[in-house]
């Protein structure tokens, strides 16, 4: 079925976990190629795309802190992990013929571009896929908050959360057989019921800037394009 995009500019959040595929740790090149293919499909619909990538497949600040590293230092290590993931995604997207820029919240001039808001917007206007790394650039935050922040700064029409499952449930559907799935929620529902969509800081930021959050399964090939076209399975979080 021919698809027409419902959004002009979107931000796709990919967790580090999504890049692991079936592995226990690190980056599965097949999975990264597959995600790049999804991104190329959406780009072909004429949608401007930016991405925020997590780092949990390599390093999480909380685990580092639990093993004795100072929390802020461990968080910087987590942010560096997101840079590796972003570079892997860049390489895969370029294999698909896309033009890309990796843009880091932590300046790293010989590796990628530093974050300059207007420059990042210009890249998207020129059809480049912008891959944001380094989260917010601050310890004690998450890449989910980085995603809500960049979606707000970029003026995105939607924030798409590529998860392991096809929407928001009231319990983990991979563990609880009769977990209830929601088609539609409000930001306040998510906050009040403490549903696991994103952390509270991220939800609050999306709410303040009225950016709809669409939660879908990144494991389904082609789902990103379907969701952008208002089709397929996803949970939408709005006012």
Q: What are residue 217's DSSP bridge partners?
A: 163
Shortest distance, position 4 Cβ to ligand UDP, whole Å: 30
The answer on whether 60 is annotated among ligand-binding residues is: yes
Cβ-proximal residue to ligand UDP, closest one: 54
Q: Rounded to the nearest whole angstrom, what is the least distance from the CB of residue 66 to ligand UDP in the complex?
A: 11
Rounded to a whole number of angstroms, the minimum distance from the CB of residue 62 to ligand UDP is 6
Work out the burial of residue 93: count CB atoms within 10 Å of its CB; fewer than 13 is exposed, 13-18 middle, 19 or more buried: buried
In the complex, least distance from residue 217 CB atom to ligand UDP, rounded to whole angstroms: 15
Nearer to ligand UDP, 5 or 52 (CB): 52
Is residue 136 marked as binding? yes
Of residues 81 and 236, the one with the C-beta less far from ligand UDP: 81
Q: Which is nearer to ligand UDP, 134 or 229 (CB)?
A: 134
User: Is residue 150 marked as binding?
Assistant: no
Backbone angles phi, psi at 158, to 5 degrees: -160, 150
Residue pair 215/197 in contact (Cβ under 8 Å)? The answer is yes
The secondary element (H helix, E strand) that includes residue 203 is: helix 200-208
Strands 168-169 and 9-14: unpaired
Q: Are 128 and 101 in contact (CB under 8 A)?
A: yes
Binding site for ligand UDP (CB under 6 A): 15-17, 54-56, 60-62, 75, 78-79, 81-82, 135-136, 138-139, 141-146
């Amino acid at each position: 079925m021919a698809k027409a995009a419902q959004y002009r500019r979107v931000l796709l959040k990919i967790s580090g976990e999504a890049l692991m595929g079936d592995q226990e740790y690190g980056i599965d090149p097949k999975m990264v190629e597959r995600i790049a293919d999804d991104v190329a499909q959406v780009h072909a619909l004429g949608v401007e795309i930016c991405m925020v990538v997590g780092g949990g497949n390599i390093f999480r600040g909380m685990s580092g802190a639990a093993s004795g590293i100072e929390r802020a230092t461990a968080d910087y290590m987590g942010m560096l992990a997101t840079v590796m993931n972003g570079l892997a995604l860049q390489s895969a997207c370029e294999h698909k013929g896309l033009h890309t820029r990796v843009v880091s919240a932590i300046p790293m001039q010989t590796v990628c571009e530093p974050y300059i808001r207007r420059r990042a917007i210009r890249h998207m206007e020129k059809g480049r896929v912008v891959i944001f790394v380094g989260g917010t650039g601050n310890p004690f935050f998450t890449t989910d908050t980085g995603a809500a922040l960049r979606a707000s700064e970029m003026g995105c029409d939607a924030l798409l959360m590529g998860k392991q499952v096809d929407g928001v449930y009231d319990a983990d559907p991979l563990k609880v057989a009769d977990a209830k799935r929601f088609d539609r929620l409000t930001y306040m529902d998510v906050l009040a019921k403490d549903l696991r969509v994103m952390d509270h800081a991220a939800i609050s930021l999306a709410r303040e800037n009225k950016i709809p959050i669409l939660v879908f399964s990144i494991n389904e090939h082609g789902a990103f394009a379907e969701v952008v076209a208002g089709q397929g399975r996803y949970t939408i979080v709005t006012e």
